[in-house]
Structure formats: C-alpha cells, structure tokens
C-alpha cells in the first residue's frame, strides 16, 4: 500500500515509525514531514496540506492508496472530503465531523442532545453578558475560546478576577465567541477510539501533562509528556465511557448525516460521578500518540485502512504488555518564544526511540526549529523503568536549549510505588 501521511510533528513521526514496520507498506510519503520522517521514507515539504484540492490532486498523481491525516487543521479545512471525493481512502473525518474539535459549542450542544455527561456550560458572543454570567456562577470556573486553539485557548480560573481577565482578553479580538463551563474535579485522561460511522474499536487511555512546569504548574502547552496505559482508567470505566459518551456521540453524528470516521480522542475528567467529557479532538494526541505507538503490537496500517474503508467491525487491537512513556523536549522559551537554532546531537544510541517535531537539517547539522523539538520515548515492564530509561536517554542527548519536565507520569508512578508497598 502506498501511503501519504500529512503533518510534521512528533505525533506524525511516531505514526510514520509504526507504519514503516508494516509488511503491507509499499512506500511512505510524508508532507511536509520532518528530518525524522525523512529517514523513514520520502518527504514533500512543498505540499500545502491545508489546501484540500492540492492534497487530493497530489495523492491522485502519486497513486496513493491511503491518506493519513495527523493534525486537526487539514481536517477542519476539508482535506478528507477532497481526498474521498477523488476516490482515495482517507484516515480522518470530514470537515463536518471535525466540528467536534473545531467548535466547543457544537460539541456541547451535541452532548445536551444525546444526554452525554459533561460540564454545565453557556456560550456568549459579547463581553457584558459573559461577565454577568461568571459573576453569577463564581469561581472556580472555566473560560474557553470557541474555536481551534491547540489546547491553549482555555483558562481554568481559580478566582473571579482571573475569569474576568480571561474574558476581557478573549473579547479583545473581533468576532470572538466564548464558552463558559462549570469546573470539573478529578483526574484527566486521553481516551482514543477508532471509529467509522457507528463502528467503534477502543484503543487505550493515556495521561498527558499539559502544564509547562513540574507539579503541573505554569502555562498550558500542547503537552509536555504522556504515558500509557493509564491504570486509573479501568476496564469498567472504559466500558462506561463507550456506552455513555462514545457510542451516543457516534450515533448522533451518523443520524445527522455527518458520520465520524478516524480516531476520536475523548478528553475525559474522571469525576466522583463518573467519566465526563471535557472535549473531543478528531485526531491522535501529541504526545499521547507517541506512547501509544510504542505499545501497539498490531499492524497500524491495517487498522488505519480498516477505519478509513469501514471495515472496523471485528478488528482486534493487540498491545505489548508494560508501560510506555513519551517525554517532550522543548526549546527554552516554549510556549512563548522558543529559542531556535540550537544544535542537537547524540540521538543515535541514546537508548530511547526519539521522535522529531521542531527540528531542521542545516548544512548537515540537526538544529531546533520549533517549540516542542523532540519526544523521547521508551517502553518497559513498569512506568518507573520506562521513565528511568527515558530520562537517562535525555541526558545522553546534547541540546543546549532543552527544557523538559522530570516528573512525567507522577500520578501513575505514585500508584506503582503504592502498589509495591501494599
Ligand atoms: P480543552 O482545550 O477543552 O481540552 O481544555 C484544556 C484543559 O483545560 C483541559 O485539558 C483541562 O485540563 C482543562 N479544562 C477544560 N475544561 C475544563 C472543565 N470544565 N473543568 C476543569 N478543567 C477543564
Ligand atoms: N496532547 C493533547 C493534544 O494533543 O491535544
């Protein structure tokens, strides 16, 4: 099978790494790709992956059998629609189904319609009624931009003053819409499900670490590290989530004539009242995907093709035993203004699987060229072992501007340690 993979982050390098292991792969072409993906196949840095017609034409001209879309932006732009219209199977939902990620208000309304457990909410188009609403509800309260914000348009306000400041900042841009939500308490997990129409095959739950600083402090980022599987998400919670959240969502989308196809990423809060939906994404998580790919035993290409072509029924997904960790190495200054140009070396033989994100080749040297630069991943019988190996590998990598969290997986590490002493 000839595969075109869209994207250039650590998530896409991990997908490329796993696809490259498939006995069914003919060739892999990544666009725009990154230096890590270039080592696994061809790359086409010049393709505009946000231009649906350009992607469809390119895929047809190259005789591609499957297009795999990594990030959300091409999906929201309608790339999957154009590729399908060209008669080529595509892993990733239509623009209509990608609204599950693109519009928080869309998803909240769908939750209300289908009776899906989620935080109480209200949407506002103007500052004054939004301010009145948060003053009525009090803190803690959550303020979100209604649109794609790569996880960065959300303020979990501990005080009323913080909520008011967030609203004022959001309404400073013209045409803004805001969703205000009840603040949910509990542990958060990222749960992934392959779906086509109403067919659904659960993958695993991972836990991401969105804050920049250790102990979950500092600004929100795209994600600083993840591990999987998350033991806190028990088989019973997975079954409950499938019945109360995932299946009603898929059924409602299908009944509306906008069926979902691809990977549905449910951000869940495990509250005292059971799992509640925080948000949907219509793609794999980054860095959750890196941890998942390190654990996946089954053939990824077969799973993605079965999802794209509606042959998911009866699909079985096998996982390696143990735990995987994926630690993000960012450039100093991320998520604000990351330092660029720092040289990176020592990736070969560092003792981990290293996925590239913001890297570039410059006259033969590998240099940092983005916020999240690398993901360092390992897989071991326990999370403690995986973490020890990943951090030892990071020590062997030379990258002067590196910034990373040393406490990825802290909740699960505490559970593992507790389990041993019990
Ligand atoms: P989102 O972009 O909707 O995933 O929000 C980013 C992060 O903000 C989530 O991963 C949560 O950690 C937090 N968050 C979002 N909504 C809520 C909520 N209703 N209650 C508590 N935390 C939330
Ligand atoms: N790591 C969270 C996300 O990909 O949205």
Angle at Cα 287 formed by Cα 281 and Cα 288, nearest 5°? Answer: 65
Sheet holding 66-69, edge to edge: 42-43, 27-32, 2-7, 66-69, 90-91
Ligand 1 within 6 A of 183 CB? yes
What single-letter DSSP state applies at residue 410?
H
The closest of 180, 177, 184, 148 to 162, measured between CA atoms, is 180
CA distances from 218 to 210, 278, 287, 329, 416 (A): 9, 20, 18, 16, 26
pTM: 0.95
Helix, coil or strand: residue 25: coil
**Res 150: pLDDT:** 46
Ligand 1 within 6 A of 156 CB? yes
Ligand 1 within 6 A of 288 CB? no
The closest of 160, 159, 130 to 144, measured between CA atoms, is 130
pLDDT string in tens for the chain (422-residue length): 999 999 999 999 999 999 999 999 999 999 999 999 999 999 999 999 999 999 999 999 999 999 999 999 999 999 999 999 999 999 999 999 999 999 888 999 999 999 999 999 999 999 999 999 999 999 999 999 886 654 457 899 999 999 999 999 999 887 778 999 999 999 999 999 999 999 999 999 999 999 999 999 998 899 999 999 999 999 999 999 999 999 999 999 999 999 999 999 999 999 999 999 999 999 999 999 999 999 999 999 999 999 999 999 989 999 999 999 999 999 999 999 999 989 999 999 999 999 999 999 999 999 999 899 999 999 999 999 999 999 999 999 999 889 999 999 999 999 999 876 54
Q: Work out which ligand 1 atom sits closest to the CA atom of 144.
A: 3
Paired strand residues for 393: none
CA distances from 384 to 33, 248, 379, 412 (A): 32, 37, 10, 9
- In the reported structure, the alpha carbon of residue 317 is separated from the centroid of ligand 1 by a whole-number distance in angstroms of 29
Ligand 1 within 6 A of 154 CB? yes
Measured in degrees and rounded to the nearest 5, phi and psi for residue 107 equal -70, -40
**Res 421: pLDDT:** 53
The closest of 29, 9, 33 to 20, measured between CA atoms, is 29
Q: Which residue, judged by its Cα, is nearest atom 5 of ligand 2?
A: 285
Cα atoms found within 13 Å of the Cα of residue 266, Cβ hemisphere only: 30
- In the reported structure, the alpha carbon of residue 324 is separated from the centroid of ligand 1 by a whole-number distance in angstroms of 24
Euclidean distance between CA atoms 117 and 270, whole angstroms: 11
**Res 149: pLDDT:** 58
122-160 burial, b for 16+ CB within 10 Å, e for fewer?
bbbeebeebbebbeebebbbbbbbbbbeebebbbbbeeb
Euclidean distance between CA atoms 412 and 208, whole angstroms: 12
The encoded tokens of residue 307 equal 């999802």
Top mutation candidate among 11, 100, 208 for ligand 2, by most atoms within 8 Å of CB: 208
Euclidean distance between CA atoms 201 and 113, whole angstroms: 23
Alpha helix positions (H), 283-355 = 288-295, 300-309
Ligand 2 within 6 A of 72 CB? no
**Res 370: pLDDT:** 86
The encoded tokens of residue 80 equal 């999957």
The encoded tokens of residue 264 equal 């549905």
Strands (E), 114-198: 121-124, 141-145, 154-157, 178-182, 187-196
Ligand 2 within 6 A of 288 CB? yes
Q: Are 209 and 224 in contact (CB under 8 A)?
A: yes
- In the reported structure, the alpha carbon of residue 155 is separated from the centroid of ligand 1 by a whole-number distance in angstroms of 8
Top mutation candidate among 286, 326, 335 for ligand 2, by most atoms within 8 Å of CB: 286
Ligand 1 within 6 A of 181 CB? yes
**Res 152: pLDDT:** 52
Question: In terms of residues, how long is the chain?
Answer: 422
Measured in degrees and rounded to the nearest 5, phi and psi for residue 305 equal -65, -40
Helix, coil or strand: residue 288: helix
Strand 211-213 and strand 2-7: the pairing is: unpaired
Q: Work out which ligand 1 atom sits closest to the CA atom of 149.
A: 2
């Amino acid at each position: 099978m000839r595969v075109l993979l869209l994207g250039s982050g650590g998530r896409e390098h991990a997908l490329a790494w796993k696809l490259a292991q498939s006995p069914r792969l003919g060739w892999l072409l990544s666009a725009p790709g990154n230096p890590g993906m270039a080592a696994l196949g061809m790359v086409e840095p010049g393709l505009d992956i946000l231009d649906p017609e350009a992607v469809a034409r390119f895929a047809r001209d190259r005789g591609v059998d499957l297009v795999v879309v990594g990030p959300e932006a091409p999906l929201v732009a309608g790339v999957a629609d154009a590729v399908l219209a060209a008669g080529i199977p595509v892993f990733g939902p239509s623009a209509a189904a990608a609204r599950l990620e693109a519009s928080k208000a869309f998803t909240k309304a769908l939750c209300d319609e289908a009776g899906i457990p989620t935080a109480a909410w209200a949407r506002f188009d103007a500052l004054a009624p939004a301010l009145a609403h948060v003053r009525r509800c009090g803190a803690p309260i959550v303020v979100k931009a209604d649109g794609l914000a790569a996880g960065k348009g959300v303020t979990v306000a501990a005080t009323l003053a913080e909520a008011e400041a967030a609203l004022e900042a959001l309404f400073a841009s013209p045409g803004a819409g805001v969703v205000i939500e009840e603040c949910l308490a509990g542990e958060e997990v990222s749960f992934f499900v392959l779906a086509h129409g109403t067919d659904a095959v659960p993958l695993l739950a991972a836990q991401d670490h969105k804050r920049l600083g250790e102990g979950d402090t500092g600004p929100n980022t795209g994600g600083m590290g993840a591990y999987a599987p998350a033991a806190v998400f028990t088989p019973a919670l997975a079954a409950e989530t499938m019945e109360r959240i995932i299946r009603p969502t898929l059924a409602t989308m299908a009944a509306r004539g906008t069926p979902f196809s691809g990977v549905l990423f449910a951000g869940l809060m495990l509250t005292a009242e059971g799992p509640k939906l925080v948000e949907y994404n219509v793609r794999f998580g980054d860095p959750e995907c890196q941890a998942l790919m390190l654990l996946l035993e089954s053939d990824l290409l077969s799973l993605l093709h079965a999802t794209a072509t509606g042959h998911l029924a009866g699909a079985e997904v096998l996982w390696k035993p143990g735990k995987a960790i994926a630690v993000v190495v960012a450039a100093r200054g991320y998520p604000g203004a990351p330092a660029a140009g720092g040289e990176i070396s020592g990736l070969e033989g560092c003792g981990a699987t290293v996925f590239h994100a913001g890297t570039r080749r410059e006259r033969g040297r590998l240099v940092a060229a983005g916020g999240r630069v690398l993901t360092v991943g390992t897989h071991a019988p326990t999370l403690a072992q995986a973490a020890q190996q990943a951090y030892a590998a990071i020590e062997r990598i030379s990258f002067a501007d590196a910034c990373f969290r040393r406490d990825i997986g802290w909740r699960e590490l505490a559970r593992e340690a507790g389990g041993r002493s019990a």
